[in-house]
């Protein structure tokens, strides 16, 4: 374990020492270059984890058993229980809800995305929306602490990826991704996932799910989780955002992950 930790630290430091930051372009946060202290980066990344599965992030939180109060206002997505409380289930991995990747299929709800609202509202205003300022049924105060809401609002304001600029939604292929560069970048990921991506199985023995499975089937989810991490993982999955990666590097890793064999 000590050897593994030391190797990971050295790799992370190598990435952190010379980060390649880019500027804000076409309304998209390409990298959080002007964030200031690393604590801000950590807040944004933690907010991304909350967006994914908040009860795996909030200390002492209990996984909900009942549907979210707003869930009954739609009838197309037949899922029940805790999944209905995940921000991504309504707003999608691309944050655009009915206007994005969840605009059709079994996950369609008809709910709007949060992309546009995140662009125009401040962090304080976004936190207020999470407290139910615009819709009382959208009040998460009973399950999220004020600090959690601040982190989530920071992610919404500063951490969203404009997925359509990096993924072809029809082919599910990354736009401009370089698999050869991604292979070198993947060395950080391979420490836990293995060189072939099969060290960790996210599914079951009968229906295994690996890094390449996610990369091919849901590249938007892959980018989100690589950018901010995986909630509840042990050891904690490092967020590319906090490590100092830019989105081109993340897209390169996606391109490489899609080349990994499924056998």
Quickly list DSSP for 196-263. Answer: TS-SS-SS-SSS---HHHHHHH-HHHHHHHHHH--TT-SSPPPPHHHHT--HHHHHHHHHHHTTS---
The domain ranges of the chain are 2-30+168-257, 60-158
Considering the segment(s) 2-30+168-257 as one domain, its CATH architecture is Orthogonal Bundle (1.10)
Q: Inform me whether the pLDDT recorded for 256 exceeds 80.
A: yes
CA distance 203 to 246: 29
SS3 66: coil
Looking at per-residue pLDDT, the higher value among 130 and 11 belongs to 130
pLDDT interval class at 79 (50, 70, 90)? very high
Q: What is the DSSP letter of 168?
A: E
Q: Inform me whether the pLDDT recorded for 30 exceeds 80.
A: no
Q: Inform me whether the pLDDT recorded for 52 exceeds 90.
A: yes
Query: Would residue 237 be called left, alpha or beta, if left means φ above 0 and alpha means ψ between -120 and 50 degrees?
Result: beta
CA distance 51 to 87: 5
> Residue 261 has what pLDDT?
84
Q: Inform me whether the pLDDT recorded for 86 exceeds 70.
A: yes
Round the average pLDDT of the chain to a whole number and report it. Answer: 88
CA distance 210 to 136: 39
In this prediction, residues 126-146 reach a mean pLDDT of 97
* Among the listed residues 97, 238, 258, the one whose alpha carbon sits nearest the alpha carbon of residue 171: 258
> Residue 31 has what pLDDT?
42
Q: Inform me whether the pLDDT recorded for 91 exceeds 60.
A: yes
In this prediction, residues 33-47 reach a mean pLDDT of 72
Helices 38-53 and 146-158, axial angle in degrees (round to 10): 100
CA distance 108 to 131: 25
In this prediction, residues 112-133 reach a mean pLDDT of 97
SS3 253: helix
In this prediction, residues 87-109 reach a mean pLDDT of 97
pLDDT interval class at 117 (50, 70, 90)? very high
> Residue 39 has what pLDDT?
53
């Amino acid at each position: 374990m000590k050897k593994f930790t030391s190797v990971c630290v050295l790799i992370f430091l190598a990435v952190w020492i010379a980060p390649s930051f880019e500027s804000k372009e076409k309304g998209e946060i390409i990298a959080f270059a002007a964030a200031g202290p690393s604590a801000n980066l950590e807040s944004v990344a933690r907010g991304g984890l909350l967006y994914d599965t908040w009860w795996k992030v909030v200390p002492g939180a209990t996984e909900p058993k009942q549907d979210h109060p707003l869930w009954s206002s739609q009838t197309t997505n037949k899922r029940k229980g805790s999944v209905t409380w995940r921000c991504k289930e309504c707003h999608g991995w691309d944050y655009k809800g009915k206007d994005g990747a969840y605009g059709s299929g079994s996950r369609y709800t008809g709910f709007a995305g949060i992309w546009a609202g995140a662009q125009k509202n401040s962090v304080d205003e976004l936190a207020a929306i999470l407290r139910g300022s615009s819709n009382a049924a959208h009040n998460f105060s009973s399950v999220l602490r004020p600090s959690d809401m601040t982190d989530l609002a920071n992610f919404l304001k500063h951490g969203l990826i404009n997925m359509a600029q990096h993924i072809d939604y029809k082919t599910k292929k990354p736009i401009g991704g370089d698999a050869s560069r991604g292979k070198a970048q993947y060395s950080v990921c391979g420490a836990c996932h293995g060189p072939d991506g099969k060290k960790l199985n996210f599914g079951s023995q009968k229906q295994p799910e690996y890094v390449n499975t996610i990369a091919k089937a849901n590249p938007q989810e892959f980018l989100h989780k690589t950018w901010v991490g995986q909630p509840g993982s042990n050891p904690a999955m490092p967020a590319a955002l906090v490590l100092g990666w830019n989105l081109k590097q993340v897209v390169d890793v996606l391109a490489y992950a899609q080349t990994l064999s499924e056998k």
